[in-house]
Amino acid sequence: MWPWLRFGPNAAAIRKASMVDSSRMATIHAESFAIGWDRSELERMLLEGHIADVLVSQAVIGEIVTGFAISRVVLDEAELLTIALDPEVRGRGHSATLLQRHAERVRRAGAACLFLEVSDDNAAALALYRRLGMVEIGRRKGYYPGEKGGRRDALTMRWDISHLDPTPRGW
């Protein structure tokens, strides 16, 4: 789909999301989830001050958003609302890098732990989350719609990020 993207050393970077990214983020979200968030929903999250970071990959024409993560922080806890990557860039380690950098920003916003929910059949996401040190703390039976009218369980996970440096930085 994106033959003009360049992937190699330093080909992808992470930066704070802005309103101009919302359309591309909506496209990626729709490609990643059964019920995608539209541009206005993502813009609302950005306006409300949610922590949002984008993965940008270098392209012939400059850069293109190829993934993103959004969290909300309340006091010393954060909730990862979503993380999504363009299908063309999955499997290259970008989600781990994006999530680690995103966790650093969440920590600087005051959170000591990050919570998330994930479908119990999302093997790739579960492997990543466990590799980063997240632990399962609960299960919501039948939380997500499944194929053919069925339901899938959601696993609730917790990631202790209190060891990350909370010193505010420029972005």
Per-residue tokens: 64:
């293109």
Question: Is the CB of residue 80 less than 8 Å from the CB of residue 116?
Answer: yes
Answer yes or no: are the C-beta atoms of 101 and 53 closer than 8 Å: yes
Q: 28 φ, ψ to 5°?
A: -65, -40
Which neighbouring-strand residues pair with 136? 157
Residues assigned a catalytic role: 117, 129
Find where tokens 């309103």 sit.
Answer: 19
Tabulate helix, strand, coil % of the chain (nearest 5).
Answer: 30, 40, 30
- Adjacent-strand bridge partners of 143: none
Instruction: Quote the tokens at residue 132.
Output: 């980063």
User: CA of 74: how far to CAs of 22, 49, 59, 71, 103, in Å?
Assistant: 23, 11, 36, 10, 14
